[in-house]
Structures are given as structure tokens and as C-alpha cells.
């Protein structure tokens, strides 16, 4: 989307009709430019009403992310973050990975976060696409610098899942569960996902870019593109949560969890993660990276975050793979 599109949408955010002439005059562009800027918005899950003689109108306001509002919600933790809010980005993870490669350190010790209103090339685990529309969710990435090597960061995605579960609980959202190793579900439909990418040496230090995508209110257009069961917070609680407040709460809890993880690894989060796991003590099928399949009953996780499975041949641990519920005859 063009920068002009975001400028027009912000003018329309009051819910009133605005003529093309008025919009063009306010932005110093032609009426044709305004019309072109509003083409194809249905592809990002947004509808703009156009009525002859009255102009353009948004059916409802867009909850824009606002840096100042988010920092106010963070209160004393605000100074911890270097927060960037972008109108659009292909991938917040890719952007932070590029920044990490150019910066040896953050200098002031701040935690760099990039959030975007619209992510056009979001990625999930194992190369999957993450679909989102304009203003219908939270898509952001956080950069954390560990002194440890990547081999000592096992279980990091599970610890991040605990942080998300805690925040959802604090917002009164009950019934969400975690799925090993990096999904948040409601009624076994995907609500949020985690993608962690690492840069560094085996012995450290290591840069971790932690990407999170959460569905707040998906349009039918976006839902149609998702190739797995998906849900959003609007469907769960019957209203749109405050995006700025929710993002601030997630950032604050993530920092709390990452500080503890840096000191003690995954072990302190293990019991809590198992409590949130929606597949605990259930029969599952594990699709392993080498293409093989293992069936069994989930029996907790190890201190390194590996999945423990009770199978006909005994207990086994898996550090990679995709699990699905298995129907029991």
C-alpha cells in the first residue's frame, strides 16, 4: 500500500463522509490520486464506503497503533524500549534481522521493537505464510541480545508462549491454550503464533528476533486465505480489544520473561507451560522434520522444552516437529 493510502484512511477515521475534493485539497493531491489510493483495500480486509455526492467513509474507525500511547501504557518500562511503528512492512522479523546485522549492540541497552499496521509478507514456522489485514491484529517483533550461544536457548519459544498466555489471562480472556512449540489456540483454532530467528555464534553472543502475530478481528477476506483453523479475539470476547494497551502489556510481560529466561533458561517456566498446554495427556501424531511420523500420548516437556511422548516403545523426546490431535477409536 502507498503512503498516500494511509494518509487518506487517517482522514476518514472520524467515520464521517469526506468528498474526494476535500480529501485531495487537505493532502495536496489530485482527486484521481485519492481514488487510486483507495483501490484494492478489500485485499487487506478493509471496506471504504463510497456514495455519489457524499464521498468516502469508513464504516468503523481503525485502531491505529500510536507510539506515545503504547509508551504511556508501559509506564516505568517505557525507557526499556526503542519502539518503531510502521504503516507497512513485508516482515517485521526480517527488518529486525537486517538491523541486528548492521548494529553490533543497541548502545543504550534498549530493546528494539518494530510493529506494523500491515504486514505483507509475514512468515510462520516451517515457511508458512502469516496472513493479516490492516489494523486487524498485532504483528510485531522484538530483538533480544543473549550472551549465551544458540544451543543454550532451547525452550525460548515456549517461554514466550507463557508470556502471551499470562497477558491474555490478565485481560480476562479465558480458554486460550498453548500448542507445542509456538502456537496459541482457542478451541483448537489458531489465535496467535510465534516465530523466533537466531543470529550469532555457537558459543555466543546470540541475537534472537522474536516475532509475534495475533488475530484481533479478522475480515472474511483474510480468513478465506488461511489454510488452517483460525480465530480472533473479537470472536472470543465479542469486542475489539485496545490494540495499544494489549501491545504494551505483551511487551512488558515479554521483557519480564526474557530477563528470567536469560538467568535460568526454560526450567522456571516448565510447569506453567504444561498447565497451559492444550494437548497434555492427549493422543497425538507428531510429524517429524525427517518426514517420519510418531504417535503417542503427550507427557509434558523437558527442561530444554522438548516434547515428551509416551509411545508403545517407551518414552521419547522430540525437539522439532508438528503435532496434531489423533482420533481415538
CATH at 25: 1.10.10.10
DSSP labels, 75-100:
GGGGGGEEEEEEEEES-HHHHHHHHH
Residue carrying C-alpha cell 490492516: 134
Q: Evaluate if residue 318 carries a pLDDT over 80.
A: yes
- Asked if the structure places residue 199 within a domain, the reply is yes
Q: What is the helix (H) or strand (E) element at residue 35, kind and residue range? A: helix 31-37
Give tens-digit pLDDT for 16-48.
999 999 999 999 999 999 999 988 887 777 778
Q: What is the pLDDT of residue 106?
A: 60
The DSSP symbol for 41 reads G
Which residues does 215 contact at the CB level (< 8 Å), separation at least 6? Answer: 132, 136, 137, 190, 191, 192, 230, 231, 232, 233
- Kindly state the average pLDDT of the residues 224-250: 88
Choosing from 123, 145, 190, 243, the catalytic residue is 190
The Cα–Cα gap between 268 and 274 comes to 12
Q: Reply yes or no on whether 326 is catalytic.
A: yes
Q: Please indicate, yes or no, whether residues 45 and 151 belong to a single structural domain of this protein.
A: no
Of 152 and 109, the one with more pLDDT: 152
Of 15 and 255, the one with more pLDDT: 255
Give tens-digit pLDDT for 87-144.
999 999 999 999 888 776 666 778 999 999 988 876 655 556 655 668 789 999 999 9
Burial class (CB in 10 A: 0-12, 13-18, 19+), 201: exposed
Report how far apart, in Å, the C-alpha atoms of 38 and of each of 5, 30, 34, 46, 300 are: 6, 13, 7, 10, 50
Give the HSE-up count for residue 148: Cα atoms under 13 Å, Cβ half-sphere: 15
Q: What is the pLDDT of residue 258?
A: 97
Q: Reply yes or no on whether 125 is catalytic.
A: yes
Q: What is the pLDDT of residue 229?
A: 81
The Cα–Cα gap between 58 and 215 comes to 21
Final residue belonging to a domain, choices 233, 259, 274: 274
pLDDT above 70 covers what percent of the chain? 91
Q: Please indicate, yes or no, whether residues 166 and 298 belong to a single structural domain of this protein.
A: no
Q: Evaluate if residue 152 carries a pLDDT over 90.
A: no
* Strand ranges across the sheet with 111-119: 81-89, 111-119, 137-146, 206-215, 189-200, 183-186, 176-179
b/e burial code for range 19-55 (CB count within 10 A of at least 16 → b): ebeebbeeeebeeebbeebbeebeebbbeeeeeeeeb
Q: Please indicate, yes or no, whether residues 75 and 142 belong to a single structural domain of this protein.
A: yes
Q: Please indicate, yes or no, whether residues 316 and 254 belong to a single structural domain of this protein.
A: no
- Kindly state the average pLDDT of the residues 60-85: 94
Quote the number of domains for the chain.
Answer: 3
Q: Reply yes or no on whether 190 is catalytic.
A: yes
- Kindly state the average pLDDT of the residues 283-310: 92
What CATH number is attached to the domain comprising 312? Answer: 2.30.30.100
Q: Please indicate, yes or no, whether residues 51 and 162 belong to a single structural domain of this protein.
A: no
Which residues does 306 contact at the CB level (< 8 Å), separation at least 6? Answer: 154, 317, 318, 319
Q: What is the pLDDT of residue 43?
A: 77
Choosing from 31, 57, 99, 125, the catalytic residue is 125
pTM (whole model) above 0.85: yes
- Kindly state the average pLDDT of the residues 184-201: 93
Q: How confident is the model at residue 83 (pLDDT cuts 50, 70, 90)?
A: very high
- Asked if the structure places residue 252 within a domain, the reply is yes
Nearest CA to 308 out of 319, 321, 299 is that of 299
Of 199 and 61, the one with more pLDDT: 199
Q: What is the pLDDT of residue 132?
A: 64
Q: How confident is the model at residue 329 (pLDDT cuts 50, 70, 90)?
A: very low
Q: Evaluate if residue 291 carries a pLDDT over 50.
A: yes
Q: What is the pLDDT of residue 125?
A: 56
Q: Please indicate, yes or no, whether residues 46 and 94 belong to a single structural domain of this protein.
A: no
Q: Please indicate, yes or no, whether residues 195 and 72 belong to a single structural domain of this protein.
A: yes
Domain that holds residue 301: 279-325
Nearest CA to 27 out of 41, 13, 11 is that of 11
Q: Please indicate, yes or no, whether residues 244 and 211 belong to a single structural domain of this protein.
A: yes
Most confident of 2-11, 39-48, 68-77, 318-327: 68-77
The Cα–Cα gap between 213 and 140 comes to 7
Give tens-digit pLDDT for 153-163.
999 999 999 99
Question: From its phi and psi, is residue 139 left (phi > 0), alpha (psi between -120 and 50) or beta?
Answer: beta
Q: Please indicate, yes or no, whether residues 84 and 230 belong to a single structural domain of this protein.
A: yes
Of 68-72, 82-86, 140-144, 199-203, the one with minimum mean pLDDT is: 199-203
Of 223 and 279, the one with more pLDDT: 279
- Asked if the structure places residue 62 within a domain, the reply is no
- Asked if the structure places residue 93 within a domain, the reply is yes
Nearest CA to 116 out of 85, 82, 83 is that of 85
Amino acid at each position: 500500500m502507498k503512503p498516500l493510502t494511509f494518509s487518506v484512511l487517517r482522514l476518514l477515521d472520524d467515520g464521517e463522509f469526506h468528498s474526494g475534493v476535500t480529501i485531495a485539497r487537505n493532502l495536496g493531491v489530485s482527486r484521481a490520486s485519492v481514488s487510486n489510493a483507495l483501490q484494492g483495500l478489500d485485499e487487506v480486509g478493509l471496506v471504504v464506503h463510497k456514495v455519489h455526492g457524499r464521498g468516502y467513509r469508513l464504516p468503523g474507525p481503525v485502531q491505529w497503533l500510536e507510539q506515545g500511547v503504547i509508551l504511556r501504557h508501559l509506564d516505568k518500562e517505557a525507557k526499556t524500549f526503542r519502539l518503531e511503528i510502521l504503516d507497512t512492512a513485508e516482515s517485521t522479523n526480517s527488518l529486525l534481522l537486517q538491523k541486528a546485522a548492521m548494529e553490533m549492540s543497541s548502545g543504550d541497552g534498549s530493546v528494539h521493537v518494530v510493529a506494523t499496521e500491515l504486514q505483507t509478507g509475514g512468515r510462520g514456522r516451517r515457511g508458512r505464510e502469516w496472513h493479516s489485514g490492516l489494523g486487524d491484529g498485532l504483528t510485531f517483533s522484538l530483538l533480544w541480545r543473549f550472551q549465551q550461544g544458540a544451543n543454550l536457548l532451547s525452550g525460548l519459544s515456549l517461554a514466550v508462549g507463557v508470556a502471551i498466555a499470562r497477558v491474555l489471562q490478565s485481560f480476562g480472556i479465558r480458554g486460550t491454550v498453548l500448542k507445542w512449540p509456538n502456537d496459541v489456540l482457542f478451541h483448537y483454532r489458531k489465535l496467535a503464533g510465534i516465530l523466533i530467528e537466531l543470529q550469532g555464534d555457537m558459543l555466543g553472543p546470540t541475537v534472537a528476533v522474536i516475532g509475534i502475530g495475533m488475530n484481533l478481528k479478522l475480515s472474511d477476506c483474510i480468513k478465506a486465505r488461511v489454510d488452517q483453523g483460525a480465530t480472533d479475539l473479537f470472536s472470543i470476547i465479542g469486542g475489539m480489544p485496545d490494540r495499544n494497551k494489549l501491545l504494551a502489556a505483551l511487551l512488558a510481560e515479554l521483557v519480564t520473561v526474557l530477563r528470567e529466561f536469560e538467568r535460568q533458561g526454560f526450567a522456571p517456566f516448565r510447569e506453567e507451560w504444561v498447565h497451559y498446554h492444550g494437548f497434555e495427556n492427549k493422543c497425538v501424531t507428531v510429524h517429524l522434520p525427517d518426514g517420519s511420523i510418531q504417535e503417542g500420548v503427550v507427557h509434558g516437556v523437558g527442561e530444554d522444552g522438548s516434547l515428551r511422548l509416551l509411545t508403545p516403545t517407551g518414552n521419547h523426546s522430540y525437539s522439532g516437529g508438528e503435532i496434531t490431535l489423533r482420533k481415538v477409536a
